[in-house]
Structure 1
Amino acid sequence: MGGSDPESAVSSEQTPAPDILESLIESGLHEIEREPIGLLLSGFSAGLDIGFGPLLMAVLLTLSDGAYGDLGTELLLASAYSVGFIFVIIARSELFTEHTTLAVMPVLDGQVSFDKLTRVWGLVWASNIVGGAVFTAFIVTLMPNLGVASPEAFGTIAHKLVDHDLRWLFVAAILAGWLMGLVAWLVTAAQETTSRLLIIWLVTASIGILHLPHSIAGNVEVLFGVFVSPAVSVVDYVMFLSLATIGNAVGGVVFVALLKYGHVVRGGG
């Protein structure tokens, strides 16, 4: 009597890599062909929603006041950081750092031009940044009345990103873009919402606990610092946003899009 091979059973439940790639290409084509106003509205919504992560971080940092110790506090903050990403990705709003992998796939497959890719990147990035800025301004205006997060907490979060030399900022941004590219790949491979939630939490909490610069979430984090901390300047913000954006794009394109596409079309998976 032949029993079923456990390894084969597990393999049959996994989404084959060629299917993941095909799904990413289809999704990328859909987004590239969308009307600009649709991309802008979705990107603006993502910029707003992702701000809840940094806001919750500031609230937890204020309320905990170190009561959980360094490790406990860092784990709490990393989990709070992931909340904004869960809101954005599960809602399928447009996030620039996902598009550094998603929108690149149809270009690598020869189905769209590089000009269309840069158009999508520009629209999504700009709307993400504006959405984050609006969220930040809204919260800073309400902050004295909310009474749940101190200005010092927002300043502490901002300094975690800007108190580094520029070379570290760029290299760390590559790592963040790499991880976000993996989110796009893994969420496409996952077949259940629970699995997707776990993947998003695991990857984005890793970005949070490592304090890696994510251009869109970090836009909110550092802008909070500009508003409430005299030690965080507009120059700090501009340098952060520039290097984080370029580094995120390099990480998503080189370490996920190019490598995943290359190995799958050559028989991988």
Structure 2
Amino acid sequence: MADTSPAVAPPEDIASAISDTCVEKATSPVGKTIGLGMLAGAYIGFGSLVAVLIGAGASDLPYGLTQIVAGIGFALGLILVLLAGAELFTGNTLMTLPLAQRRIGPGQLLRAWGLVWIANLIGALLLVLLAIAVGLHLAGDGAFATSAIELAAEKASKSAGSIVASGILANLLVCVAVWMAAGAKSAVDKVAVIVPPVAAFVALGLEHSIANMSLLPLGLLAQTGTGAELPAGLSWGAAGANLAWSTLGNIIGGSGLGLAYWAIYLRKT
């Protein structure tokens, strides 16, 4: 008899599953958390490399289509995180759901967030250093480096308010992807629900702090051996500011979504 069950579980079941997963993550041993966090930073970094590569051929595609294709390529990162298993800070902002249920405490939440954010950063930076060592930035007669620098410069030029607002929107989409993937019943179904929201946030140019942990250093280091000049305003200080403000926006977006689903499906009246 054919299976007629839906490919994705209903939202109320997903809410319970997400809560259970977040409790497990919040109480995970430090070493495991850091190791999986470093993997997530690297996995998202691979998505960044693919997006930059696609952007290097942007002149051959009309505006809009290039951004969508780059977004689809970037989705590789979240697919690797969710299917291979890793700890991603932006997805873990959904921990506000079990926090509201009082299944975890504020200290556990902040510990988990802090460890994973730092581990994501380490993983992302290591991947970028390896990419530069391999010479990926020299691909396409420097087209890859140009794409990386232009993208990083665009991010570094945004105002604090713009980055925070953009970060909110970005993580709403990322957490919706994480949410739907938690309810998907096969690897194919998970990929199917991950790609559209991730492609959307990339195509819209929104700010994802963990993606920026690779995109900004990549742009700053892409001039190595190419003779390319960094645009005014693109600096390590500007990169740090972007990470700070995009992290704040991501926390607001993901935490708000977690609290919304708690209030709708899991709040005890």
Q: Which residue in 2 is equivalent to 1:4?
A: none
Q: Distance in 1 between matches of 2:9 and 2:65?
A: 35
After superposition, residues 74-113 of structure 1 pair within 5 angstroms as 74-101=67-94, 103-113=95-105
* Shift of residue 108, structure 1, vs aligned partner: 1.2
Larger radius of gyration: 1
Report the AA paired with residue 80 of structure 1. G
Deviations 1:14-52 (A, max 9, x none): 623332222111111111221100000000011111111
Q: Name the CA shift for 1:181/1:61 in 2 (closer, same or farther; >3 Å).
A: closer
1:116 matched to 2:108? The reply is yes
Q: Which residue in 2 is equivalent to 1:257?
A: 258
Q: Distance in 1 between matches of 2:64 and 2:246?
A: 26
State whether residues 64 and 203 of structure 2, in contact with CA within 8 Å, keep that contact through their aligned partners in structure 1. no
Q: Distance in 2 between matches of 1:47 and 1:109?
A: 29
* Shift of residue 65, structure 1, vs aligned partner: 4.9
State whether residues 7 and 189 of structure 2, in contact with CA within 8 Å, keep that contact through their aligned partners in structure 1. no
State whether residues 48 and 135 of structure 1, in contact with CA within 8 Å, keep that contact through their aligned partners in structure 2. yes
1:150 matched to 2:144? The reply is yes
Q: Residue 235 of structure 1 is aligned with which of 234, 237, 249? A: 237
Percent identity reads 23
1:164 matched to 2:158? The reply is yes
Q: Which residue in 2 is equivalent to 1:27?
A: 21
Deviations 1:118-148 (A, max 9, x none): 0000111100011001111111122268634
Q: Distance in 1 between matches of 2:116 and 2:200?
A: 24
* Shift of residue 265, structure 1, vs aligned partner: 2.7
Secondary structure at 1:53's aligned position in 2?
A: helix
1:39 matched to 2:33? The reply is yes
Structural RMSD (CA): 2.1
1:128 matched to 2:129? The reply is no
Q: Distance in 2 between matches of 1:170 and 1:217?
A: 15
Report the AA paired with residue 147 of structure 1. A
Q: Distance in 2 between matches of 1:86 and 1:93?
A: 10
Moved more, 70-79 or 241-250: 70-79
Moved more, 218-227 or 127-136: 218-227
Report the AA paired with residue 161 of structure 2. R
TM-score between both structures, scaled by the size of structure 1: 0.88
Q: Distance in 2 between matches of 1:14 and 1:137?
A: 38
Q: Distance in 1 between matches of 2:215 and 2:252?
A: 22
1:196 matched to 2:190? The reply is yes
Q: Which residue in 2 is equivalent to 1:5?
A: none
Deviations 1:131-175 (A, max 9, x none): 001111111122268634531111122123222222111111011
Structure 1: any 5+ residue segments left out of the alignment? 1-8
Q: Distance in 1 between matches of 2:9 and 2:246?
A: 32
State whether residues 98 and 183 of structure 1, in contact with CA within 8 Å, keep that contact through their aligned partners in structure 2. no
Q: Distance in 2 between matches of 1:74 and 1:113?
A: 40
